[in-house]
Structure 1
Amino acid sequence: MSTPEAQGPDADRDSASASDLIGAALGGAARRAGLDPAGDANTQTVVWSAIGGWRGVLESVLPSLAFVVLFTLRPDPLILSLGVSVGLAAVFTVVRLVQKSPPAAALGGLIAAGAAAGLALWTGRGADNFVPGLITNAVYGTVFLVAALVGWSLIGIAAGFLMGDATGWRADKRKRRAFTWLGIAWAVLFFARLAVQLPLYLTDQVTALGTLKLIMGLPLFAPLIAVTWLVVRALYPRESPKDPASRS
């Protein structure tokens, strides 16, 4: 039987390998979204790029807004508000495909809208159109919180990959503390959405639920993106992103 001491280095290597894989995935996604701290973009440009510009705003807002408005004005038949919502998501996906732009965001929105609409039609409850969003917030909040508390903040993993720091940030108390709190901040965002929206779902208040989902979407996401960006840039000054002094 191997001793804990013998298992320690292997466990560290396994953690580092997993971190590399996760960092590559998160960092790649961040870079595609325009969130590369090594770049020269200003905060406003970065936030606007992260939410996808006007197209991203429309893709995020219009399907849900159409559902809320139509359901409020005419809850029956349910398929009307659901059909318009999914139809708008489909239009955005087709536009992206025609323009040969990356369709991932619109495809994700279309799949989510279709799954939510299918569930709502199956149960006959308009509130069930928001179940996937509630599940997403619960999962994301848990993952961000657990990762931060065990010392492997997802923000730190992604930033380490983007800045060529790998897992070096974990040996720097200042960086580790900052990334831990950033991870907790993101977890708080997801759990706050869940805490506000779940009671409305359970009491079948569809209009209020849809409205608060929109309010707690991009309006909260964008400022937290800005804060995250500014903290990472402060931890990794642009003039010398790999300066050994920044790791002391």
Structure 2
Amino acid sequence: MSDAFRSGLARSPFASIEPGATPTGKDVWAALGGKRGVVESLLPGLIFLVVYTLTQSLWWSVLTPLAASAAFILARLFRKSPIQPALIGLVGVALSAFVAIVSGRPENNFVLGLWVNAISLVVIVGSFAFRRPIIGVIAGILVNDDQWHHNRARFAMASVATLLWAAMFGLRLLVQVPLYLAGEPAVQALATAKLVMGIPLYGLTLWLTWLLLRAVYRPHAASPE
């Protein structure tokens, strides 16, 4: 679940939109969970890649990321920090490990992520059928703007932003599905692609989305047309 909208959009910079404010990288960094959130998102996948490359062992490759995810929770408990982000990560890693072990196929460690991307893409594209681009819906809820779809500028920007997310999920599937179908010989390439197209691509998409929507939530664009 580290690749989809996850909890990032729910606590994204949209929640702090203020008319006339200028976007900063610090706010987008916070939306990604800060340094700890980025590490907790990237490390399990990196551990899988390194361990699998060195050992070619399915069990070690899926259990070591699981141990790391459990360690994140213990670290948060020790520091008396909220454990929900780490707990969500642990559930995702555990489910992926379970599927891979039961099937005996290391590439299945990534199959749940592919399904999340596919379902997310379907939901995003489907939102256009109701003329409610989903990024506009989310931003409207977070900034208490239930008339955004009547404002041409906001609707247009929400549409472009929603297409950005569709492109992100579509690109992930375009690259990763063939690697998954290639089976065990492509596991390392698949793990690498998932890392590169995970948090880095998610962060870039979030940043561009924020820039687009921030542009229309300013005093001069406040009154619906």
Normalized against structure 2, the TM-score is what? 0.88
Structure 1 gap segments, 5+ residues each: 1-25
Letter in 1 for 2:194: K
Q: After TM superposition, list the pairs within 5 Å mapping 1:88-99 onto structure 2.
A: 88-99=68-79
1:84 aligns with 2:78: no
| Aligned mate of 1:112, from 55, 71, 92 | 92
Checking the alignment, whether the CA contact within 8 Å between 2:23 and 2:211 is kept in structure 1 is: no
Distance in 2 separating the partners of 1:35 and 1:212: 28
Whether the aligned pair in 2 keeps the contact of 1:37 and 1:232 (CA below 8 Å) is: no
Alignment counterpart, residue 219 of structure 1, candidates 169, 177, 200: 200
| Map of 1:200 onto structure 2 | 179
Q: Is the 8 A contact 2:52 2:61 kept in 1?
A: yes
The residue correspondences of 1:15-26 to structure 2 (distance < 5 A) are none
Q: Deviations over 1:33-90 (max 9, x none)?
A: 45424245732012101111111111111111111111111113x2111111101111
With over 3 angstroms needed to count, the CA separation of the structure-2 counterparts of 1:68 and 1:100, relative to structure 1, is same
2:126 corresponds to which residue? 146
Aligned length: 216
Displacement after TM superposition at 1:138 (Å): 0.3
Match of 1:155 in 2: 135
Taking the aligned partners of 1:230 and 1:115, their CA distance within structure 2 comes to: 35
Q: Which runs of 5+ in 2 are unaligned?
A: none
- Distance (Å, rounded) in 2 between the aligned partners of 1:41 and 1:114: 40
The offset of 1:124, in angstroms, is 1.0
Q: Could you give the per-residue CA deviations for residues 117-168 of structure 1, whole angstroms, max 9, x where no partner exists?
A: 01111111110100111011001111111113431112111211222211x1
Larger Rg over CA atoms = 1
SS in structure 2 of the partner of residue 36 of structure 1: helix
Q: Distance in 2 between matches of 1:149 and 1:175?
A: 18
Answering whether residue 83 of structure 2 is matched by residue 103 of structure 1, we say: yes
How far apart in 2 are the matches of 1:31 and 1:118?
28
Distance 1:208 1:67 in 2: 12
Task: Name the aligned partner's letter for residue 129 of structure 1.
Answer: N
Structure 2 vs 1, CA of residues 34 and 230 (structure 1 numbering), >3 Å: closer, same or farther? closer
Q: Which of 199, 203, 209 lines up with 1:228 in the alignment?
A: 209
Q: Is the 8 A contact 1:165 1:242 kept in 2?
A: no
Aligned-pair RMSD on alpha carbons? 2.1
TM-score by length of 1: 0.81
The 5-angstrom pairing of residues 19-98 of structure 1 reads: 30=9, 32-39=11-18, 42-76=23-57, 78-98=58-78
Q: Return the alpha-carbon distance in structure 2 between the equivalents of residues 194 and 42 of structure 1.
A: 30
State whether residues 182 and 228 of structure 1, in contact with CA within 8 Å, keep that contact through their aligned partners in structure 2. Answer: yes
TM-aligned CA deviation for residue 108 of structure 1:
1.1
Go from structure 1 to structure 2 and tell me whether the alpha carbon gap of 1:213 and 1:79 turns closer, same or farther (over 3 Å shift).
same
Q: Which amino acid in the other structure matches residue 193 of structure 1?
A: R
CA distance in 1, matches of 2:220, 2:214: 9
Residues 182 and 117 of structure 1: CA distance in aligned 2, closer, same or farther (over 3 Å) = same
TM superposition outliers: structure 1 runs of 4+ over 6 Å: none
